[in-house]
Structures are given as C-alpha cells and as structure tokens.
Chain A
Amino acid sequence: MVDITITVNGTGHSLSVPDNTLLSDLLRENLRLTGTHIGCDTSQCGSCTVELNGRAVKSCTVLAAQANNGSITTIEGLGTPNDLHPVQAAFRDNHALQCGFCTPGMIMTAIEMIKDATEPLSADQIRAGLEGNYCRCTGYQNIVKAVLAAQTQLRSV
C-alpha cells in the first residue's frame, strides 16, 4: 500500500491505496468521481483526461502514486449545471456531445488547449489538439465549433 495526499477539485484527500492503483481508479473507485471515464487500455481514447498540476493527462496511464502531493481537476470540479465553465457551456450550446461518454475528456483537453495557446487557435489546430480524444458519435465538427466558441469567450475575459 502507498499513502497518497492529493487535492482533487480543491478538496484535500489522504488515502492509502495498493501500489499499482491507477489515478483513474483512485478517482472513480476511491473518490467516486465517475465523470472520468475509461474507454481503452492503451492510452488512446482520452475519455479519462484530467488536469494534473495544471496539465491535461490521461489518468488511466498515471499511477495514483505519481500524483502524490499533486493537484487534480476533474470534470466534476469545473462547474455546475447552473454555473457552467465556459467550455462546458460551449459544448452544450454547440451540440458537441451525443452519448456524452467522451465528453469529460474532451472538455478537459479543450481547456488545456485554450489555456496554452498564445494566439487564437484555428479549427485545424483544434482538430490536431484533439488527436488524443476519440469521439464515435459527433464526427467532431461540433466539438471543434464548441472549442472555437469557448476560446472566443475565454480570451476576451
């Protein structure tokens, strides 16, 4: 067992988990934050994307122990239905989701992409930035539209 102290969505947690626990399992099973989803075994689909110490990572490919003393934001930490994060709102307003399974990972990746960009992102740059997130429903078009819309709002703040 390994002792872990982490901050998730602003709340501190200290817990003891088996050494081979993945960050995604810690979030889903120990903290019951099930908005972070598991869609593959090989670190490609991106459904499990969370922000770890300010950067988007695939939580299924990070050991919980590696996140020790870290700060994590998951989809649950962004906004509530009545007070959405601009990227969440843009996904809803642009019909950027259908089944919703990939959506938390998409939103977490989109947030990092917008945050990191020094210049406004083009649609092509957004498509390239979403390389690590699979969606089987939307054909991506409305996701790109949502990220463009959210970017406009976030950059004007």
Chain B
Amino acid sequence: MTTKTGIGASVLRKEDARFITGTGAYTDDLSLPGQVYCVFVRSPHARAIIKSIDTTDAESSGGVIAIFTGEDLRSDGIGDLPCGWLVKSKDGSDMLAPSHPAIATTHVNYVGDIYAMVIAETIEEAKNAAELVEADFEVLTPVVDVATATTADQIHENVPNNQCYDWELGDSAAADGAFANAVHVTSLDIVNNRLIPNAIEPRAALGNHDAASGSYTLYTTSQNPHLERLILAAFVNVAPEAKLHVISPDVGGGFGSKIFVYAEETAVIWATAKVGRPIKWRAERIESFQADAHGRDHVTRAELALSGDGEFLGLRVKTIANMGAYLSTFASSVPTYLYGTLLSGQYKTPAIHVEVKSVFTNTAPVDAYRGAGRPEATYVVERLVETAARELGVDPAELRRKNFIQPSDFPYATPVALTYDTGDYEASLERALSLAKYSEFAKRRNESEANGRKRGIGFSCYIEACGLAPSQVALSLGAGVGLFESAEVRVDVTGSVTVMTGTHSHGQGHETTFAQVVSDKLGIPFENVTVVHGDTSKSDYGLGTYGSRSLVVGGSAIATATDKVIAKAKKIAAHMLNSTEEQVSFDDGIFKIPDSNESLSFGEVAFSAYVPGDFPIEELEPGLSEKAFYDPANFTYPAGTHICEVEVDPGTGTTEIVSFVAVDDFGTVINPMIVEGQVHGGITQGIGQAMLEHGVYDADGQLLTGSYMDYTMPRADDVPDFIVDTTVTPCTHNPLGAKGCGEAGAIGATAAVMNAITNALDVKELAMPATAETVWRAITGD
C-alpha cells in the first residue's frame, strides 16, 4: 500500500525539526555538572621508541587534574584495542595483529599516535599542560610506502615483513587457464588513493562514572553503540557490559569512520573513574585528519582475459592493501571479504583469482570508509572493462551487455564465494543510457572540440554486497560478532508505537523510514510511530549502522517484530470478537472477521491489550510489545549503472563534470526522497575520490594533508546536479525486498568519473585524484 506516509512515499523527515532549529544534541553539545576536559598528547614522529615520558612539569601546570600514560592503563588491566575479524592467509595461518594499546607504551607508530592524556579544568589548561609533557623519543626510519612495505624495516615485533596476511580467493589454476586461452588481455596498474573520511562532526566523547553503583555512562560519536559497549567490556576490560551504558546521541555523519572503537573514548571512559569527574573530549579537525581511520589505499595489478569476440574469460588481481600502523576494528575484512568477493561485478566471468597482501605502515590505521572494499573492487573491474572495450574498439556499453549476468541466471554463484539472488543489470544500463542521451554523445563531443575542450564519457556498472551479513557466513569467515539486528515494537495503551532498533541513524533518516514501515504495516498514522536508537539501555542489542545494512537487516527486524505484534493483536481481536485468530483478518489498521460487520481498530485492540478485563489469562497475556532478532539469509546485491560525462579545459587541466547519471536497483524503496539524498551524497564522495581527495604522507611519515587547507573536500561548486533514477528487482530473501542504498554512490561513481576523464584525454591510465596538474601532464605528454 502506498499512502502519503507509507512504504514508497517521500515523507519529510521527522528528525529535521530539531536539526533546522539548532536543537539537535550532538555529543559535544552535551555537558555534565563538574565536567573536566581532556587533551591527548600525540606523537610528532611517524615511528619512534618511547625511551621515557616525564610528566612532572605538566602535572604542576595550572588546572591539571591528572595525566595518564599508557603504563597507567596497562597496570590497571586495560587491554588492547582489538580487531574484530580474523583473516587467514592462504597457507592457513592466522593474520598477524600487533599490540594496539589505546595509549602507546613502548613505541609510537604514526603521527598522531597517543602517548599521554591530560585532564584539566579547562581545555586551554589541558593544552598548556600537554605542551609540558616531555617524551624522550628515539626516532626510527618510518615505513610509509605501501608498495615496498614488505621489504622495509620491521615495525612490529611479531609481524615479519610488516605483512598482516597474504590472502587469496578463487581458483588460481582456472584463472591461469583462462589467460592461456585468451585472445586479448587487458591489464592495468591501479592505485586506489587514500581517503580521509571527514564527517563534519569531529569525534567526541563524554564519560561519567557513578562511584556508588560502579556504572559508567559514555556519550560518544558512534555508529554502533552496542558494539562499542561490547568491545570496551569484553576486550578492553573497562567494566562489565551491564555496568557500561553507551549512548550515541545525534551523530554528525560517520561514513564508516565512527564504526570503530578508538583510543580516545576508551581512555576517557576509563579515566573518568580515576578522576571522579565527568570528562569531555572533542577532536580538533587536525586530530580527525591524523587519527580517524582512513580509507582505501590499495596498490593493484589487474588483468582481464577476453575471447576473440569480447567474452570475459578470466580475471587476475593482485593487491597490496595498507592497514596503517595498527589493525583498526574491522580493518582486516575490508580488502578481503568486502573486496575480493565483489570482483565478479555484474559479469559472468568464469574464472577469478585474487591475492591480497595486507601490510603495516607508519601511517594512521586504515579501515572501512563508505563502500569499504566494494569501491576498490568496482574500480578494478570497471576500469578494466572500459579499457578492454577501448582496446578492442567496441562500445563499452555493448561489451558490458555481452557479459552481463542475465535475469534468468539468478541465483548466480560467482567464482568468488557470493550467490547473487536477483537483478536486472541491462535494465539499469538501458535506462542510464537513455537519461545520459548516450546516442548524442558524439555530437556533444564535437561541440566541445569546436570550443577547444576535450569531452569524455565513462561508465560504471557496479555491484555491491550489502546488508551485512548472514551471521553464519560472517562467523565462518572470521568475524568476531554475529551480524543480525534486533528490534522491539512496543505498542502503547493508546495505540501509538515506540520502535527500538539496534541500528543507528547519523544522517540516514531512520526515524522516518522505519516509522513509514511500521505505520504502513499497522495502518496507523505515521505521526504515531516514534523510533528510538543509539542507546544501549533502550534497545536490546544491535550491530549498528554501516554496510548499507540498516533497512535491510534492521528494517527487516522491525518488520518481523511488527508482524509478531499483528499476530498477537489478532489473538486479542479474536477474543474481543468472539472468534478465532485464524478467522481474524487485518488490513489497513482494521481487524475483521468473515461474514460480519463487526470490526476493531488497531487502537481498540491495543487499549484492550492493556486493559484486559476479561482476558483468558491462561492463553492470552496482556500487553502488546514484541521483539525480533533478524539474521539475513544472504547479502543483498544492489547494482546499477553510473554514467559520467566530463569536459576538460586543456589550458589548465581543469575537469568539469557536465553530466552525471545514476540508475540504481535498490530493490523496494521505502522513501524515495531519502534514497535520492543518499545517492547524491555517495556520488559526491565518489567524485571526491576521483578528482579531489587524497591523504598524502611524505617520506618521513608526516601527513601533508592534515587540514582543510590541503585536503580537498568536495564543495558545492565542485559537483553538478545529478540525474538519478531507480529500477527495481526486489531482494528475494528479506521481508521488505530492500537491498540498501547508503554506499552505492561512492561505490559506482569513482570508476565512472575516471573512465570519463581517460576517455576525454584518450589515455589508458591516470592517477587519482585527477587533479588539474595530473590532467595537464597527461595532455602535454609529461
């Protein structure tokens, strides 16, 4: 049913009222009585031995309450920050994970690594004291270059060759066989540039300890508060889970970077008990640059084998992935299970083999950033396919069509471990070609040339695996946690509904989308549904929001719990109507029985549930509140086609995106307005990677892009209006038919942009970001 507020309607967002009036409550907006402030003392060196730390002068600085070093945490039993996914190397051995203390004890391993924390009455007093913390460092030569990290100095005692793992997926012999039979081989050397996430709200933490109960409360900028609590309790040993209350209030964007459990909130929540006062910390932007987990950073050699008539025969990919200095919370899974598994793309490539070496360097930890592994995979596949088409002189759309998995092929098992459930890739391609007016491109190119400009067009037919994940699959592949989601649908006495979810909204609009699902299913007004998230004391459990999972997993849990509510309500209605629950039908908020004019509204049944005057209490419990834990049967597979058209000014190398079309298949769409917004934002981050953004370290491991003066963020005048549309093949295995939309833009866009620019310049390879100078050099042949 599509109503003005139901599934499929572009309902305006419930959360906007507080955000547009400045009454949202982000972590740094909160204050607790008697709170003090924390400043972290960070390494200026990329790699050094900590010979000693002298805090004497700092301790006597004005306003100082306490100064702690890594030894203080260690001696108090505080454990290392763990990595939650164990990846095995191809020889069967476990990955090598270095010790990752929240505050460094013996070595600092990247610029920004913390070696002390200062707590003082004011921020300025804490900063004054931080400058007086004297560390005696023995500076060592850092390892910065990812491509040569395995032959550089060994960073961690227990990690020879700086190699975390050497992983593979697919059939090596089959792939080699395909190449032996190939008529044409297209190969590319690809660098997937390091990105720095840059949610506009910097990370923050506000901790409090109640000495009487021994319980802790942590307000923090987390995408997954329950996971934060689990790790702080079970691995870091701050306190038992039941004594640890984690709240993620309004959070100003995450894009992956706020999934992880970081040193800062760990130290803050621990120290709050030590000093007996609430402690607040908010990152300055320079700290976000230095110490938020970065994204991407792969070096890859990729080859595609084709038959004489352009059929894909095999794909070989060798990637070195940068982990940075330590393993962040999910770092190991990103270049493996979220990357290698996606290399089949939308194509029937029969033989695929991928090898990934993950290495440590003296740079900030690298982990999931919007798309996480899937943008890197899409970039490899779609740059190869486009290049192959150019080398063979065939239309890139035609080469793709020829190799697409067809609707009749589903379910389709790829050679890299996934089984796609459904899709229609040609449908989105055709729609995108039409919206992009592809047939008139040659004319537009001629016009550009007449004006002294170079014009190019590029495609990207991406696929992603979303809705992380079937727990059984994830656990068998090394995940440390199940990846289901919980929900509770609590019907109030008067028939309004409160929904508790374990996902977390930090821009996605869950308070609106989930309310649409519930109001639609229950046939009650949208306004009567309130969604609660981000508080470990309110929802049972949850794995949070990332991997485009919230609607497909969290929403499915909500749908399931809502179905349970309906089932229970039918029992009550049956009792009220003197019938049986099998006889009771429920449609659009009304309970009916056959051959009767009698009916009950949802509100009447809800009221009766809480005022059970004559319930047969042996058979029928009072109350109307249900829970569900939903574990998906498979990933979901959103897919689509992005087409980018650019115009290059050869005089300066400046590239302008003149048109960008995205046609995505997200399955069932609950709120098209919100989905479009997600696509716009994702595309902009994808364009950012292709043309603007780059996290750069110099040879000494100093971050050259440590502020907005040097790290190029996409601004309003860097991007055009996007033309977006959807095609729909509903997901076959979840109750909503939804596939997820949060990452698609970032996954698809980058390759489309680079395919367009290389087309305009008529070059095979071009480094990202395609800055003006990079483009100008390609034109001038330097």
Contacts and interface: CB of A to CB of B under 8 A. Distances in A.
- Counting chain A residues whose Cβ lies within 8 A of the other chain, the interface size class is 35 or more
Interface of B: 12-13, 15-26, 28-29, 124, 198-202, 250-253, 255, 282, 284-286, 506-509, 673-674, 676-678, 680-685, 707-709, 713-717, 719, 721-722, 745
A91 B285 CA distance: 26
A41 B16 contact: no
B707 A42 contact: yes
Given A99-B201, A99-B506, A139-B719, A91 B680 contact: no
Contacts of B15: 100
A84 B713 contact: no
B22 A45 contact: no
A146 B678 CA distance: 17
Given A38-B282, A42-B709, A134-B708, 15 more contacts: A34-B22, A35-B21, A35-B24, A39-B252, A41-B285, A44-B709, A88-B21, A95-B12, A99-B200, A123-B721, A131-B717, A135-B716, A137-B253, A138-B680, A144-B721
A39 B709 contact: no
A97 B673 contact: no
Nearest to B251: A99
B200 A101 contact: yes
A130 interface: yes
17 contacts: A18-B124, A35-B24, A41-B284, A44-B709, A45-B285, A76-B22, A79-B21, A81-B18, A92-B13, A92-B20, A95-B673, A98-B253, A123-B721, A127-B717, A130-B715, A139-B682, A139-B719
B390 to A, nearest CB: 29
A59 interface: no
A76 B23 contact: yes
B680 A142 contact: yes
B708 A103 contact: no
Contacts of B202: 38-39
Contacts of B22: 33-36, 74-76, 104
Contacts of B716: 126-128, 130-131, 133, 135, 140, 143-144
Contact of B20 (A44, A47, A91, A133): A91
A56 interface: no
A75 B708 contact: no
A83 to B, nearest CB: 10
A42 B684 contact: no
A141 B722 contact: yes
B21 A39 contact: no
Contacts of A36: 22
A57 interface: no
Contacts of A88: 20-21
A76 B252 CA distance: 18
B713 A136 contact: yes
A107 B680 contact: no
Contacts of B198: 136
Contacts of A95: 12-13, 673-674, 676-677
A130 B16 CA distance: 20
Contacts of B201: 37, 39, 99, 101
Given A34-B22, A76-B23, A131 B681 contact: no
